[in-house]
Structure 1
Amino acid sequence: MATVQAVARAMEILRGLSGAPRGLGVTEVAARLGVAKPTAHALLRTLAGGGLVNQDHNTGKYRLGPALLELGNAYLETHELRARSLILADALASRANEAVWVAVPSGDHVLVVHHVFRPEGAVQILEVGAVLPWHACALGKVMVAYLPEADRATLLAGALPVLTGSTVTDTGTLREELAEARRNGYAVEDGEAAIGDAGIAAPVFDSDGVVGALGVVGPVERVLAPERREAHAVQVRETAKLLSRDLGGGRPMLRRVVA
């Protein structure tokens, strides 16, 4: 049990450091964990020995280490959904002339595992590894829409942080959006995660159910323009269907889901 507790504490340290860009000192870590400073120091030194955290010798504070990047890259390289989406995502970006994201669920967030830049676009930032609350993006909403009712209820009852003035946090409204996503086979985001950005996403299935989502992202005025929105939705659904078939998911639009 002591070993399990140590692992749990190490995970909590890493989570804490992920939200502390300036790092955390031993005293701060000890307070977060509710342990004595020597215990916190021992945990930090063990993590530092594996490269999972680094200590700033000027401030004495700890930050996330480079070994985490190596582990993250290994995760991406071996992720089946990402590997099978590469060609299809490229083709979708070319057809839609927009950036394409592929994401998977991560608790009450979504994790972007693949990002294709918009063809011939301006300078763009690679968003692989980005984590977003499920309710603030089309990728998350369409995945949750196809989860079992009990799982949807748990997520709706959880934290729903506000990212912009357009972020939807009312559970009744979110339920309506999820039902609409199931009817249409895609979900829409309109400035809910970042001001001025929009997205249209469709679910991806394997033989066990929804495993991720794929969608186009870009400025609201392009992605949700009346003359382009429906075309984007059709392209996204078609691509997600092909990817689902490649993963053994059959035809997601014919799956029976609970309203």
Structure 2
Amino acid sequence: MARNIQSLERAAAMLRLLAGGERRLGLSDIASSLGLAKGTAHGILRTLHEEGFVEQDPASGRYQLGAELLRLGNSYLDVHELRSRALVWTDDLARSSGESAYLGVLHQHGVLIVHHVFRPDDSRQVLEVGAMQPLHSTALGKVLSAYDPVAHSEALEAERKPYTARTVSSAEDFEAVLDLTRARGYAADIEETWEGVASVAAPIHDRRHMPVGAVGVTGAVERVCRAGELRPELVAAVRDCARAVSRDLGAGRF
């Protein structure tokens, strides 16, 4: 059996101590509570401070939880809430469209699939929760890049690999795609990432009207498109789903 890493265990114990006790604790208090030498405790606190997980009050020298830990916690809560709010609506979207429905969020310079509803037929399908998709070529990624400034920057800084002959790779053309996405309120991917596959996606906003994710459907191009264009009823269904999830998150009308 693999052994746990002692320094990580001590760091975790330190964060729990700061979360559950007084607002601020001094080095001696922390070391004493955890049974650590002051030098050891100080070394761990210094590392946590450099990473933004703890902050030190300049006047008293006492420590408290840092903003980075709060940001990570809020990120988990946001994704968890987003998925729970979207469950019913994405089920309905897959049922009404007859295609697979996906929920994605920005993660590590790509789109992380946090929920996937299978196409409602008897075909063999693979669950894609946890899979990553590119920002520049997928419908989900274009939506996030169009509405989220962080995703926008990451997509522009990325390589923008041409997956097919239809993939938009140049920065100028990509910006034009994002402008069109914002103007229409949805994004398209017609064989830009996978040959024979098309997708449509729309943005999800929270109560602050901030983009927190995207929802869309994906399927064979001959089903998703008609005469080379996305079927209007599919676009409408995806946008209605995105609005419904956004309303559940408190976004109101938009």
Question: Shorter-chain TM-score category?
Answer: 0.5 to 0.7
Aligned residues of 2:109 and 2:151 also touching (Cα < 8 A): no
Q: Equivalent residue for 1:244?
A: 246
Q: Equivalent residue for 2:213?
A: 212
Aligned residues of 1:144 and 1:178 also touching (Cα < 8 A): yes
| Structure 1 residue 153, shift from structure 2 partner | 4.1
Residue deviations 1:135-172 (CA, integer Å, cap 9, x gap): 12000101111123x76245313321232332221111
- Report the structure number with the largest CA radius of gyration: 2
Aligned residues of 2:138 and 2:199 also touching (Cα < 8 A): yes
- Which piece of structure 1 moves more, 191-200 or 233-242? 191-200
Q: Equivalent residue for 2:163?
A: 163
Aligned residues of 1:222 and 1:228 also touching (Cα < 8 A): no
In 2: Cα distance, 1:197 partner to 1:207 partner: 33
Q: Given the two structures, how large is their TM-score scaled by the length of structure 1?
A: 0.64
Distance 1:117 1:168, change over 3 A: same
Q: For structure 1, which runs of at least 5 residues remain unmatched after alignment?
A: 8-74, 255-259
Q: Equivalent residue for 1:187?
A: 187
Q: Equivalent residue for 1:145?
A: 146
Q: Equivalent residue for 1:89?
A: 90
| Structure 1 residue 127, shift from structure 2 partner | 1.0
In 2: Cα distance, 1:228 partner to 1:97 partner: 14
Q: Equivalent residue for 1:70?
A: none
Aligned residues of 2:204 and 2:213 also touching (Cα < 8 A): yes
Aligned residues of 1:181 and 1:187 also touching (Cα < 8 A): yes
Match status 1:114 vs 2:124? no
In 2: Cα distance, 1:215 partner to 1:121 partner: 21
Letter in structure 1 aligned against 2:169: T
Aligned residues of 2:160 and 2:169 also touching (Cα < 8 A): yes
| Structure 1 residue 228, shift from structure 2 partner | 6.2
Residue deviations 1:168-227 (CA, integer Å, cap 9, x gap): 211111111111111111000011222111100000011240010000100111112248
In 2: Cα distance, 1:171 partner to 1:80 partner: 34
Residue deviations 1:91-130 (CA, integer Å, cap 9, x gap): 0111111110011111320001111111114111111111
Q: What RMSD, in angstroms, separates the aligned Cα atoms of the two structures? A: 2.5
Q: For structure 2, which runs of at least 5 residues remain unmatched after alignment?
A: 1-6, 12-75
Q: Secondary structure at the match of 2:160?
A: coil
Q: Secondary structure at the match of 1:136?
A: coil
Letter in structure 2 aligned against 1:198: A
Residue deviations 1:35-87 (CA, integer Å, cap 9, x gap): xxxxxxxxxxxxxxxxxxxxxxxxxxxxxxxxxxxxxxxx79x7111111111
In 1: Cα distance, 2:107 partner to 2:167 partner: 19
Distance 1:249 1:176, change over 3 A: same
| Structure 1 residue 89, shift from structure 2 partner | 0.4
